[in-house]
Protein backbone atom coordinates (compact mmCIF):
# COMPACT_ATOMS: atom_id res chain seq x y z
CA UNK A 1 0.00 0.00 0.00
CA UNK A 2 1.22 3.53 -0.63
CA UNK A 3 2.12 5.41 2.52
CA UNK A 4 -0.97 7.32 3.45
CA UNK A 5 0.85 10.13 5.21
CA UNK A 6 3.17 11.89 2.84
CA UNK A 7 4.04 14.34 5.62
CA UNK A 8 2.40 17.18 3.76
CA UNK A 9 5.53 17.67 1.70
CA UNK A 10 5.30 18.85 -1.91
CA UNK A 11 7.17 15.76 -3.04
CA UNK A 12 4.58 13.43 -1.51
CA UNK A 13 3.65 10.58 -3.82
CA UNK A 14 0.29 9.16 -4.81
CA UNK A 15 -1.85 8.74 -1.71
CA UNK A 16 -3.93 5.76 -2.73
CA UNK A 17 -4.06 2.95 -5.17
CA UNK A 18 -6.89 1.33 -7.07
CA UNK A 19 -7.40 -2.34 -7.77
CA UNK A 20 -5.28 -2.20 -10.88
CA UNK A 21 -2.08 -1.38 -9.05
CA UNK A 22 0.42 -3.65 -10.82
CA UNK A 23 3.12 -4.84 -8.41
CA UNK A 24 1.57 -3.54 -5.21
CA UNK A 25 1.80 -6.22 -2.52
CA UNK A 26 4.31 -5.56 0.19
CA UNK A 27 5.26 -9.07 1.21
CA UNK A 28 8.98 -9.55 1.61
CA UNK A 29 9.29 -12.44 -0.84
CA UNK A 30 12.75 -13.49 -1.71
CA UNK A 31 12.93 -12.16 -5.23
CA UNK A 32 15.41 -14.86 -6.17
CA UNK A 33 12.80 -17.53 -5.40
CA UNK A 34 9.58 -15.94 -6.53
CA UNK A 35 7.93 -12.87 -7.98
CA UNK A 36 8.92 -9.64 -6.20
CA UNK A 37 6.49 -7.53 -4.23
CA UNK A 38 6.83 -3.77 -3.99
CA UNK A 39 9.63 -3.87 -1.41
CA UNK A 40 11.80 -6.36 -3.29
CA UNK A 41 11.19 -4.55 -6.55
CA UNK A 42 12.07 -1.26 -4.84
CA UNK A 43 15.37 -2.62 -3.50
CA UNK A 44 16.32 -3.98 -6.92
CA UNK A 45 15.37 -0.70 -8.60
CA UNK A 46 17.35 1.38 -6.11
CA UNK A 47 20.31 -0.91 -6.74
CA UNK A 48 20.11 -0.16 -10.44
CA UNK A 49 19.48 3.58 -10.00
CA UNK A 50 22.27 4.20 -7.49
CA UNK A 51 24.76 1.95 -9.27
CA UNK A 52 24.06 3.72 -12.57
CA UNK A 53 24.54 7.07 -10.80
CA UNK A 54 27.96 6.24 -9.32
CA UNK A 55 29.19 4.87 -12.66
CA UNK A 56 27.70 7.78 -14.64
CA UNK A 57 30.43 9.68 -16.56
CA UNK A 58 32.37 12.26 -14.56
CA UNK A 59 32.04 14.67 -17.45
CA UNK A 60 29.03 13.49 -19.45
CA UNK A 61 28.42 14.57 -23.03
CA UNK A 62 25.11 16.20 -23.95
CA UNK A 63 24.04 12.86 -25.45
CA UNK A 64 24.86 10.94 -22.26
CA UNK A 65 22.86 13.43 -20.23
CA UNK A 66 19.92 13.08 -22.61
CA UNK A 67 20.13 9.27 -22.42
CA UNK A 68 19.96 9.27 -18.63
CA UNK A 69 17.12 11.80 -18.58
CA UNK A 70 15.23 9.65 -21.09
CA UNK A 71 15.91 6.50 -19.05
CA UNK A 72 14.45 8.08 -15.88
CA UNK A 73 11.45 9.47 -17.75
CA UNK A 74 10.78 6.05 -19.32
CA UNK A 75 11.18 4.24 -16.02
CA UNK A 76 8.65 6.61 -14.48
CA UNK A 77 6.19 5.50 -17.16
CA UNK A 78 6.78 1.74 -17.18
CA UNK A 79 7.65 0.99 -13.51
CA UNK A 80 5.21 -1.77 -12.58
CA UNK A 81 4.44 -0.42 -9.07
CA UNK A 82 2.06 2.36 -9.97
CA UNK A 83 2.38 4.46 -6.83
CA UNK A 84 6.17 4.20 -7.09
CA UNK A 85 6.03 5.30 -10.74
CA UNK A 86 3.91 8.26 -9.68
CA UNK A 87 6.47 9.10 -6.96
CA UNK A 88 9.23 9.02 -9.55
CA UNK A 89 7.29 11.24 -11.97
CA UNK A 90 6.67 13.79 -9.20
CA UNK A 91 10.30 13.72 -8.13
CA UNK A 92 11.53 14.34 -11.67
CA UNK A 93 9.06 17.16 -12.13
CA UNK A 94 9.75 18.89 -8.81
CA UNK A 95 13.49 18.23 -8.72
CA UNK A 96 14.83 17.89 -12.28
CA UNK A 97 17.74 15.41 -12.37
CA UNK A 98 21.16 17.04 -11.93
CA UNK A 99 23.02 15.38 -14.78
CA UNK A 100 26.02 17.69 -15.20
CA UNK A 101 28.52 15.32 -13.57
CA UNK A 102 28.81 11.98 -11.77
CA UNK A 103 29.10 13.67 -8.36
CA UNK A 104 26.00 15.80 -8.99
CA UNK A 105 23.92 12.93 -10.26
CA UNK A 106 24.91 10.54 -7.44
CA UNK A 107 23.95 13.27 -4.94
CA UNK A 108 20.67 13.95 -6.74
CA UNK A 109 19.78 10.25 -6.66
CA UNK A 110 20.66 10.00 -2.98
CA UNK A 111 18.56 13.06 -2.15
CA UNK A 112 15.67 11.71 -4.20
CA UNK A 113 15.81 8.35 -2.40
CA UNK A 114 15.95 10.20 0.94
CA UNK A 115 12.78 12.14 0.13
CA UNK A 116 11.04 8.83 -0.59
CA UNK A 117 12.55 7.34 2.58
CA UNK A 118 11.09 10.29 4.49
CA UNK A 119 7.66 9.78 2.99
CA UNK A 120 7.81 6.09 3.96
CA UNK A 121 9.06 6.81 7.49
CA UNK A 122 12.47 5.27 6.78
CA UNK A 123 15.74 6.67 8.13
CA UNK A 124 17.73 9.21 6.15
CA UNK A 125 20.81 7.84 4.42
CA UNK A 126 24.09 9.79 4.81
CA UNK A 127 24.82 10.86 1.23
CA UNK A 128 28.53 11.30 1.95
CA UNK A 129 28.59 7.48 1.99
CA UNK A 130 26.91 7.00 -1.37
CA UNK A 131 30.05 6.04 -3.32
CA UNK A 132 31.20 3.62 -0.62
CA UNK A 133 27.75 2.03 -0.58
CA UNK A 134 27.32 1.65 -4.33
CA UNK A 135 30.70 1.70 -6.08
CA UNK A 136 33.03 -1.25 -5.55
CA UNK A 137 36.32 0.60 -6.08
CA UNK A 138 35.36 3.31 -3.55
CA UNK A 139 34.25 0.73 -0.99
CA UNK A 140 37.54 -1.16 -1.33
CA UNK A 141 39.63 2.02 -1.07
CA UNK A 142 37.74 3.13 2.06
CA UNK A 143 38.09 -0.30 3.68
CA UNK A 144 41.82 -0.27 2.94
CA UNK A 145 42.23 3.26 4.34
CA UNK A 146 40.38 2.44 7.55
CA UNK A 147 42.34 -0.83 8.03
CA UNK A 148 45.56 1.16 7.60
CA UNK A 149 44.39 3.81 10.09
CA UNK A 150 43.38 1.24 12.69
CA UNK A 151 46.68 -0.66 12.25
CA UNK A 152 48.55 2.63 12.73
CA UNK A 153 46.57 3.54 15.86
CA UNK A 154 47.12 0.12 17.46
CA UNK A 155 50.81 0.06 16.64
CA UNK A 156 53.02 0.34 19.81
CA UNK A 157 55.05 3.10 18.16
CA UNK A 158 52.06 5.30 17.37
Ligand X SMILES: Cc1cc2nc3c(=O)[nH]c(=O)nc-3n(C[C@H](O)[C@H](O)[C@H](O)COP(=O)(O)OP(=O)(O)OC[C@H]3O[C@@H](n4cnc5c(N)ncnc54)[C@H](O)[C@@H]3O)c2cc1C
List interacting residues with ligand X (CB under 6 A). 2-3, 13, 26, 38-39, 42-43, 45-46, 50, 83-84, 87-88, 110, 113-114, 116-117, 120, 122, 125, 130, 133
H helix intervals, 37-101: 38-54, 62-78, 82-94
Q: Measured from the CB of residue 42, what is the shortest distance to ligand X in angstroms?
A: 2
Residue number with CB closer to ligand X (71 or 125): 125
- 126, 117 contact by CB (below 8 A): no
In whole angstroms, give the CA distance from residue 131 to residue 9: 28
Residue number with CB closer to ligand X (74 or 117): 117
> What counts of helices (H) and strands (E) characterise the chain?
6, 0
Residue number with CB closer to ligand X (19 or 63): 19
- 89, 39 contact by CB (below 8 A): no
Q: Measured from the CB of residue 91, what is the shortest distance to ligand X in angstroms?
A: 7
Q: Measured from the CB of residue 153, what is the shortest distance to ligand X in angstroms?
A: 27
Q: Measured from the CB of residue 154, what is the shortest distance to ligand X in angstroms?
A: 29
Residue nearest to ligand X (CB): 42
- 105, 98 contact by CB (below 8 A): yes
Residue number with CB closer to ligand X (104 or 133): 133
Q: Which residues contact 30 (CB under 8 A, 6 or more apart)?
A: 40
Residue number with CB closer to ligand X (9 or 117): 117
Amino acid sequence: MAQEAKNGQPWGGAASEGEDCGVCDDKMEDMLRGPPGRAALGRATWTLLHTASVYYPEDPSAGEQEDMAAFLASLAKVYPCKVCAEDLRQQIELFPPALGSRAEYAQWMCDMHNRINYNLGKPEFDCSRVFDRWRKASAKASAKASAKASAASSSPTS
